[in-house]
Amino acid sequence: MRIAAVVRTAAAAAACSVLLTSCGGSGDDGGARDEGGAHKEGRTDARAAESSRRIPDVGDRLQSQLPKNSRQVVAVYGEGRNSADATVVLYTKSDGGKSGAAKSGSGASGPTWKKTRSWPAHNGKKGWTPDHRENDKRSPVGVFTLSDAGGVLADPGARLPYTESAAFQAPHYWPKTHWHDFDHVIAIDYNRAKGTPPNDPTRPQGQRKGGSIWLHMDHGSGTSGCVSLSKSGMRYLLRTLDPKQHPVVVMGDKAALKR
């Protein structure tokens, strides 16, 4: 009987030992995984916070050209160097802060860029170039300010200075699908005099460098060098882009933007 009791006691002790080892092992392993997961989450949060302080998919070269005081960026992501297809995204800089960073656990602070709206778009029918020339049918790659707007139609409530004029009307020898291209336009400050209507012919760098590069209404295909998007998109930009926020456009094919 005593031998049987000893055996039972030993068996119970062994079972208890296995159970404790299992619980303890699970707790220790789980703790290690939780700690590792927390570290991984922390790194992920930090990377996310860092990336939110930049315009996505724009490399250091162009990122560094964004004015420090700009709080509105229109990013034009061209599909390819020789493609006329693009996407326009409006980013707005929001004030960050340590309190918000503490809540996220990222430890980061400062202003961040938030995607506000996006639209399908078109650019030059032959694609993009870092050295735009008159009539090359390519859109210029770079960072440019946005200062003036206008169009055939009445001001829809633009914050940028807006010039309404029939002089913007597209020639009627163009295809009918293009007749409303310039109902609303926003001048891209490439080789132009700021503070003038978008159709002012002044070209400070000379005629050969081209000009009259605008954001304007889309006709469903490539342009002569401008960027085009929907009427609703244009009207939204006109009502949103604010001179006090120093809006700019960063534009190019995706590969050029990332360089």
Residue 17's pLDDT is 38
Identity at 91, one-letter amino acid code = Y
Q: What is the mean pLDDT of each run of 10 residues along the chain (259 residues)?
A: 40 37 35 46 50 91 97 98 98 71 50 96 98 97 98 98 98 96 98 98 97 98 98 98 98 97
CA dihedral 223, 127, 92, 112 (to 10 degrees): 180
CB 117 within 8 A of CB 59: no
Locate tokens 């001179």: which residue?
A: 243
Q: What is the pLDDT of residue 52?
A: 82
Beta strand 128-129 with 142-151 is unpaired
Quick one: tokens of 216? Answer: 């304007």
Write down the pLDDT at residue 51. 60
Cα separation of 152 and 4, whole Å?
A: 103
Nearest to 251 by CA among 112, 118, 87: 87
87 burial (CB, 10 Å; 0-12 / 13-18 / 19+) is: middle
- DSSP class of residue 234? H
For residue 47, the model assigns a pLDDT of 53
Query: What φ, ψ does residue 165 adopt, rounded to 5°?
Result: -160, 140
Please list, in sequence order, all residues whose beta carbon lies within 8 angstroms of the beta carbon of residue 200, skipping any fewer than 6 positions away.
192, 193
Q: What six digits make up the tokens of 27?
A: 């707790």
- The residue whose two tokens read 């656990």 is 105
